[in-house]
Amino acid sequence: MNIPKVLIVDDDSDILDLFEIFLYDQFQVTTALNGFEALNSAKKNPPDCIVTDIMMPVMDGIRLIKRIRQVDSLKEIPVIAVTAFSAVLQERSLTNVGFSSVISKPVSRKTLVNTIHETLGGKK
């Protein structure tokens, strides 16, 4: 059985730990503390899906997705934005930038797992 690989990106290590707990039983999880680390990690070991916070130091989620979309081996990977901004306008602008889905904080386990499965085309 091929277990989907998910890269979680957030500058808050507590969020990384929580998301890892949410996902460990269904996905292979790797983590990164900012977009720069995530880009390097994805180039070395491309995930099936990336879940990223938007507001981060070093490289934020918007710059991360723009860089991912420029790398041939990564540009087709679905990327889910996690944001504290829940306005519909914010969600539309994030999907226009290239995010597959947008999840508003706080994030429940069910929402995170279901969104990843939906983004991966229902693969379980």
Can you tell me the mean pLDDT for 20-49?
Answer: 97
CA distance 124 to 118: 10
CATH of domain 5-119: 3.40.50.2300
**Coil, strand or helix: which one is 79?**
strand
Query: pTM for this structure?
Result: 0.92
Query: Taking the domains of the chain in order of start, what are their residue ranges?
Result: 5-119
Can you tell me the mean pLDDT for 65-88?
Answer: 88
**Residue 122 — very low, low, confident or very high, per pLDDT cuts 50/70/90?**
low
Residue corresponding to tokens 């934020």: 60
Percent of the chain with pLDDT over 70: 90
Q: Which pLDDT score, from 0 to 100, does residue 123 have?
A: 46
Whether residue 34 has pLDDT greater than 60:
yes
Our CA angle for 68, 55, 104, nearest 5°, is 95
